[in-house]
């Protein structure tokens, strides 16, 4: 009975969320009609709406793995979304798609405009691929110490890459260069991933509901969610969704122990977990709404990512290893049976020239050496979060009515 009540409260919450978002993002009828008729500058000359629909079917609704292991001899399970299965191999596809959908709907970007962004890699790759699919030129400003694979992937997707050295300001310098470009040209759109509320919304609308409903289908309710902070969109957005349904759920950001920017409030140290702790605390991250940051050593993250690939066949990046270790730390605080969820943000193919493929020494205090991976189950994708739900002929009429969705 309690499980039914939690599930029903979640459905009612989704109805309210849909209504609230419709009010927040009401688009003038002429603009909505224009979105259907606008033709991209892409070679296939599809309408923008058709391209967005195809992209939406290629992004999100990823599998949720229940990863079984022993920690110091005792049985444990951690739940992780397989975000490396998105269109370009990372969770950033969700944010890039949502940001561009919103920008088009609100008239903030026009066909043929240049998309320019400062990024440590995955966001740039996502905007390059999705931007090119929509026919946009893409310019990426990226710190020059990121992996060679990221640079080459950006170029492969047709983006212009501008490397930024530490002497030029590093990540903050890259953001400044993107802003300067937009200041000189009227045809430049800046996603501004670190301050754009649509970044958080992308995960509140997709990743969060997926975690909730996939766990719910297996009779589980999340006790905690953890994720590394690059922009912070994932941990803030997912956390916001889960806490609306379970206020007592813990939501922990993860940071490198070697560069604890969240804890100190400033750039400090250096680390090897690409994509997190980018020298500052992003504007969309309100630490007061989150639980305490969890520190993970970059070497521990590397060892964990290596194990996930070598023992389970899950080819994930270094930040995925960090998220797994952070999830274990959260579980240790809550109890061995706690339901703790996280995400595997990207795949290991972007790290072939990095420490991920090198021999990593074991140091005191690491958790990965105490972990024996046993295997994993994969939860089915949730029908409730399918991008084609409104067109699905197999969704029962009674359920459609309950969640406020009309018949196809």
The structural domains of the chain, with segments of one domain joined by +, span: 16-56+92-189, 64-89+198-384
What is the model's pLDDT at position 397?
61
In DSSP terms, 43 is beta-bridged to none
Strands 138-143 and 114-118: parallel
User: Is it true that 16-56+92-189 and 64-89+198-384 share their CATH fold?
Assistant: yes
Question: Which residue, 345, 378, 18, is CA-closest to 214?
Answer: 378
H/E element, 76: strand 74-82
**From 90, 147, 319, 320, active-site residue:** 319
What is the model's pLDDT at position 385?
84
Q: CA–CA separation, 315 vs 276, rounded Å?
A: 19
- Who's near 43: CB < 8 A, 6+ residues apart? none
Catalytic residue check, 267? no
- Within 13 Å, how many C-alpha atoms sit on residue 230's CB side? 26
Which pTM was predicted? Answer: 0.86
What is the model's pLDDT at position 69?
98
What is the model's pLDDT at position 25?
40
pLDDT in tens, 73-132: 999 999 999 999 999 999 999 999 999 999 999 999 999 999 999 987 899 999 999 999
Residues of the chain with pLDDT under 70: 1-46, 389-408
Strands 250-256 and 224-228: parallel
Catalytic residue check, 90? no
Could you please state the CATH topology (level 3) that the domain comprising 64-89+198-384 is classified under.
Rossmann fold (3.40.50)
**From 92, 147, 259, 320, active-site residue:** 92
What is the model's pLDDT at position 88?
96
b (16+ CB within 10 A) / e for 370-390: ebebeebeebebbbbbbeebe
Could you please state the CATH topology (level 3) that the domain comprising 16-56+92-189 is classified under.
Rossmann fold (3.40.50)
Q: For the residues of 99-163, what is the DSSP string, one character each? A: HHHHHHHTTS--TTPEEEEE-SSHHHHHHHHHHHHTT--EEEEEETTS-HHHHHHHHHTT-EEEE
């Amino acid at each position: 009975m309690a499980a039914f009540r939690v599930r029903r409260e979640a459905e009612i919450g989704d109805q309210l969320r849909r209504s609230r978002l419709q009010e927040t993002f009401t688009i003038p009828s002429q603009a909505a009609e224009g979105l259907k008729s606008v033709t991209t500058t892409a070679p296939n000359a599809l309408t923008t709406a058709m391209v967005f629909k195809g992209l939406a079917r290629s992004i999100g609704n990823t599998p949720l793995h229940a990863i079984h292991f022993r920690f110091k001899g005792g049985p444990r399970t951690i739940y992780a979304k397989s975000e490396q299965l998105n269109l370009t191999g990372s969770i950033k596809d969700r944010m890039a798609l949502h940001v561009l959908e919103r920008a088009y709907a609100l008239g903030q970007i026009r066909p043929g405009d240049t998309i320019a962004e400062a990024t440590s890699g995955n966001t740039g790759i996502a905007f390059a691929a999705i931007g090119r699919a929509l026919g946009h030129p893409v310019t990426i400003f990226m710190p020059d110490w990121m992996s060679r694979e990221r640079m080459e992937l950006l170029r492969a997707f047709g983006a212009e890459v501008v490397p930024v050295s530490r002497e030029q300001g590093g990540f903050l310098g890259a953001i400044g260069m993107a802003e300067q470009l937009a200041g000189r040209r009227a045809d430049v759109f800046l996603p501004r991933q670190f301050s754009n509320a649509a970044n958080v919304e992308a995960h509140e609308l997709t990743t969060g509901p997926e975690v909730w409903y996939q766990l719910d289908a297996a009779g589980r309710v999340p006790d905690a969610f953890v994720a590394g902070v690059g922009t912070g969109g994932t941990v803030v957005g997912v956390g916001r969704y889960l806490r609306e349904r379970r206020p007592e759920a813990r939501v922990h950001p993860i940071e490198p122990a070697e560069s604890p920017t969240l804890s100190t409030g400033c750039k400090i140290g250096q680390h090897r977990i690409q994509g997190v702790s980018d020298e500052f605390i992003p504007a969309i991250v309100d630490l007061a709404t989150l639980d305490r940051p969890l520190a993970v050593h970059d070497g521990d993250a590397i060892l964990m990512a290596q194990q996930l690939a070598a023992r389970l066949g899950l080819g994930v990046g270094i930040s995925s290893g960090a998220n797994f270790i952070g999830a274990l730390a959260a579980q240790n605080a809550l109890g061995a049976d706690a339901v703790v969820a996280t995400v595997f943000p990207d795949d290991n193919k972007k790290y072939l020239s990095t420490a991920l493929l090198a021999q990593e020494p074991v140091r005191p205090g690491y958790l990965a050496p105490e972990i024996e991976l046993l295997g994993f189950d994969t939860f089915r994708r949730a029908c409730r979060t399918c991008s084609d739900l409104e067109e699905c002929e197999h969704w029962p009429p009674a359920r459609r009515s309950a969640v406020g969705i009309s018949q196809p």
